[in-house]
Structure 1
Amino acid sequence: MSAPQNLNYDQNVYLAVTLAPSSASFNSPSVLAVHPSVTHLGTVGQMRDVQLLSVPRHDWDDVQAEVLSSLRSLGGVNRVDVQEPPRTRVKRGGEF
């Protein structure tokens, strides 16, 4: 089992890219780094068909359209999702 990734949403924007198993990118996911600002981080958990990429937040506004367009145009890419920062859950008061 792989170790959980330590993600910093203040510094980076994360993209989850879902690949078709028949995709050439499935066996060579490093090709998903379609722009110099994009870094391939690895799989999302044990899901081999979902790859995680990061882009520095300070670059995101300038490269967003180009990166998303390039990823979506790659053969075998089923989806590209921009990940939202996890929300902090509030624990309920001592009702129990």
Structure 2
Amino acid sequence: MAAKSPRAGKTGAAPDESAGPPFEEALERLETIVDQLEGSELSLEDSLARYEEGIRLSRRLTHTLDAAEKRIERLVEGSDGEPATEPIEDGPRGAADKPSDGELPF
């Protein structure tokens, strides 16, 4: 009988980094897919498969970056003159900068 993975039985859990390749590998794979799609060597069917994989990777990477952004704190000077931290507000990636659902992020 095969041993169950420690993650077996979890349902409804949010996707995490262990659900796929590490962030850097996923980003590298997405860059490879973009390069392949920009070339003309792939058949239509292969192009569609790569496109779908690229969209999945893009969404996962965006989710990971958004989660990391929420964890970042900014170092500020507190009211007593001592350093303090506060959560960052919407910075360079405001709602206007985010791609719409139908728009490709790459």
Q: TM-score, normalised by structure 2?
A: 0.26
Compare CA radii of gyration and give the structure with the larger one: 2
Considering fraction of residues, name the structure with more helix.
2
Q: Which has the higher contact order (CA 8 A, sep 6+)?
A: 1
